[in-house]
Structure 1
């Protein structure tokens, strides 16, 4: 099927050096020449989920543990795709089994050129999701007189993928080697900030001194500069 803007498209990708680029090493059936598949029937719905992990941190002098950010788990997207061979919904010149095999080849077929299964980009309207397939379940729901499947539902789940370069950029935002500016709030003082940035509450005195404070107990609304670790 030709590339259609209002149809969900799955583009296979592979690393060339440190950059993800279109991968057209998988061919045949409904796979297009650029290494993509455009579905004939859009999903009826699309589910998105993400989990954020925290560590419970006991802060001396605090009555409640602090939820310290640990990491963000990969985002997840799932949806069902219908493959139909009745020719009542769309003209299918391939057949359901052939469509399913092409879909499997594109999404997790092993490439001898890249020595890996595919990285994927799902696009549908303004929705773009860089990912990898994590699960695929196919249910055949209609058969012809000879027992050949003529309709199937593929339940797909994908997890987000971030390139190493992008991940490094994200991690630098909380790096102890950079300067950060925080604001004191109720229940969020110098000790909390120091643990969040440096992983050590005992640096609160040094941070207070760096900012010119006469005490480590600072009033709410005060801006605090947390310099690179080597500066304190």
Structure 2
């Protein structure tokens, strides 16, 4: 498969409602993580009556989700802007342009990452809220923890390679949470853009929680052949009186 490789980028915001952006593209990964871990956790009250050996756990709350990412910070210069494209690299070298990231020290790269995600800003009295974007994946939260493992050093002890292990916790304002809950309500009209691989039953399942309403949606949108949806087209999903 061709196409441009999407790199992880981080936008910084001043507030948890994500209305006041500080820097768009505050950090962009030179090397993408090999993967990420996304955790959701339900908390239960595990206290048992005195003398009891077993019992039903009572649901307490759903904790904020968390995201774990490992970033590779490299200052050896082995990574190029255009890996594998010798022609572009040769043209750039002929123009006197070198990979700007290859001459950026690991220390500077780590500083840039922490400045975008975890550094305390005295004007807002806290670190920034961030939006982490990797292709279609998006996560809103704050940096909870950042651990650095140094792996390679120059003769003078200067770090040349490090792995940064970042843990982000989901963090959005109550107003934004309410808005998100409202926009996913089956009692409202939704407009959705068809993505490659989407089917009408699948999209109906996402909106209403049941795929059986797809014929009504097809009728409302004037679809003759609902089995072949065109990517990029827009469909309307109105409120539907649910039946058992």
Normalised-by-shorter TM-score class: 0.5 to 0.7
| 1:163 CA displacement | 1.3
25, 33, 44: which is aligned to 1:54?
Answer: 44
Q: In 1, are the aligned partners of 2:15 and 2:128 still within 8 Å (CA)?
A: no
2:133 aligned with 1:123, yes or no? yes
Question: Over the residues paired in the alignment, what is the CA RMSD in angstroms?
Answer: 2.8
Paired residue secondary structure (2:115): helix
| 1:40 CA displacement | 0.3
Q: In 2, are the aligned partners of 1:81 and 1:155 still within 8 Å (CA)?
A: yes
Residues 12-51 of structure 1 correspond to what in structure 2 (within 5 A)? 12-15=12-15, 19-24=18-23, 34=24, 36-51=26-41
2:149 aligned with 1:159, yes or no? no
Q: Which structure 1 segments of 5+ residues have no match?
A: 25-33, 59-63, 173-232
Residues 177-192 of structure 1 correspond to what in structure 2 (within 5 A)? none
| Count, aligned residues | 154
Q: In 1, are the aligned partners of 2:9 and 2:25 still within 8 Å (CA)?
A: no
Cα separation, 1, equivalents of 2:47 and 2:110: 49
- Give the 3 Å change call, closer, same or farther, for CA 82–109 of structure 1 in structure 2: same
Q: Which structure 2 segments of 5+ residues have no match?
A: 49-53, 81-98, 183-244
Cα separation, 2, equivalents of 1:113 and 1:35: 20
131, 141, 155: which is aligned to 2:151?
Answer: 141
Cα separation, 1, equivalents of 2:19 and 2:173: 8
60, 71, 75: which is aligned to 2:65?
Answer: 75
Cα separation, 2, equivalents of 1:50 and 1:163: 18
62, 86, 93: which is aligned to 2:76?
Answer: 86
Cα separation, 1, equivalents of 2:20 and 2:132: 14
Q: Which residue of 1 aligns with 2:220?
A: none
